[in-house]
Amino acid sequence: MTSPDATVLTGFTVAITASRRADEFATILRRRGAEVVTAAAISMVPLSDDVRLREMTDAVIASPPDMLIATTGIGFRGWVEAAEGWGVAEPLLAALGGARVISRGPKATGALRAAGLREEWSPVSESSEEVLTHLTHADLDGKRVAVQLHGAVDDWDPVPGFLDTLTERGATVVAVPVYRWEPPADLGALDALVERVALGGVDAVTFTSAPAVASFLMRADELQLTDSVRCVLRTTVTPFCVGPVTARPLERIGVTSVLPDRMRLGALARVIADELPRRNPDLAVAGHTLGVHATCAVVDGQIRDLSPNSLTLLKLLAREPGAVVVRDVLLEALGGDDPHVVEAAVARLRSALGAKELIATVVKRGYRLAVDFMPDDLGAETS
């Protein structure tokens, strides 16, 4: 990794909600300089203990399908492994061996081929929507179709309308819940992360599965933080999703996510490294570079830890870089009633930044960031 790559996320705080490969993902982001906070939004029910999966496996063996739609690699592999544990893997694969096989993407394709099955088609987009476009009424009418599902949180449908559309086109659908998600065992950690996001305490939050998004939003609702979470995800906290299916629950509440060009952790990390600095670039201030982030400032490439009050003041000043923020507004943000509180707080902020010239005093009015190339008639002085 080149030196610029290793520092591109310096000062940014990224939240990870993944239950799988969270440590690996965190390591990739930390290598780019990010501060990472993690809390799993979901936990996975062990397949060997899933009664519903066993029931549907027996149903597939008893009445083999005409078509199999495999949606995920981990899910299909898990299904075969669970069947092996129950001693029915051979009859399951025999039942599936006579079916037309549709694979939703490369990972599902790899799992199918490892099990000795061969797909006849796979969508370029890796999307369920393209699968529906490909399968006509003639393909489905009167056919028995086994669909390996993504998983679900409570009654949330991970692919809205997918099964209904297959049924409407004449198929008898056998829905196989190959892995099922539940809320995490450690709700305290998830609650803390939801509250932190709601307060704008991270620069970005990442999701690698749609059930994780659904669980995160459900918990926000239970904590009565839905409006706050929606607000920050539209403004100061950038949501990143590994793919369009993952992003769909956010779209339903009017939140647009940033997606990588490929549904992979490495691609997700790259788009975070590209997009966060673009959305929140360093400012040129009094001959220095200044980055203002969720939890800290970065001055000339060096992280400056700030107290909550100092961070509040800096974010107010950076909201419109170079614009004057009057003392009354700063005082209200600090929750004080003595005007001298503002002067003391600004002095502490200047000290914490290590360069007092970053904050300019505008006589009898307030303060502003001394951004470079500002007009000369603002009456500013650094004191």
User: For residue range 274-298, what is the model confidence (pLDDT) as tens digits?
Assistant: 999 999 999 999 999 999 999 999 9
Among 145, 138, 135, which residue's Cα sits nearest to residue 69? 145
> Which residues does 64 contact at the CB level (< 8 Å), separation at least 6?
94, 95, 96, 98, 99, 144
> Average pLDDT for residues 76-102, to the nearest whole number?
95
Asked if pLDDT for residue 382 goes beyond 60, the answer is no
Asked if pLDDT for residue 372 goes beyond 50, the answer is yes
Among 305, 287, 295, 318, which residue's Cα sits nearest to residue 351? 305
- The DSSP 8-state label assigned to residue 188 in this structure reads H
Query: Which pLDDT does position 46 carry in this prediction?
Result: 64
Query: Which pLDDT does position 373 carry in this prediction?
Result: 63
Mean pLDDT of the chain: 90
How far apart (Å, rounded) are the C-alpha atoms in residues 310 and 316? 10
Span of 145-159, 209-223, 265-279, 285-299 with lowest mean pLDDT: 145-159
> Average pLDDT for residues 21-39, to the nearest whole number?
95
Using 50, 70 and 90 to split pLDDT, how confident is the model at 377? very low
| pTM score | 0.74
Q: What angle do CA 24, 30, 32 make, to 5 degrees?
A: 115
Instruction: Report the number of secondary-structure helices (H) and strands (E) in the chain.
Output: 17, 18
- Listed in order, strand segments (DSSP E) in 227-268 are 238-241
Q: Which domains does the chain have, with CATH numbers?
A: 3-42+184-279 (3.40.50.10090), 47-181 (3.40.50.10090), 283-381 (1.10.10.10)
How far apart (Å, rounded) are the C-alpha atoms in residues 311 and 200? 12
> Average pLDDT for residues 217-242, to the nearest whole number?
96
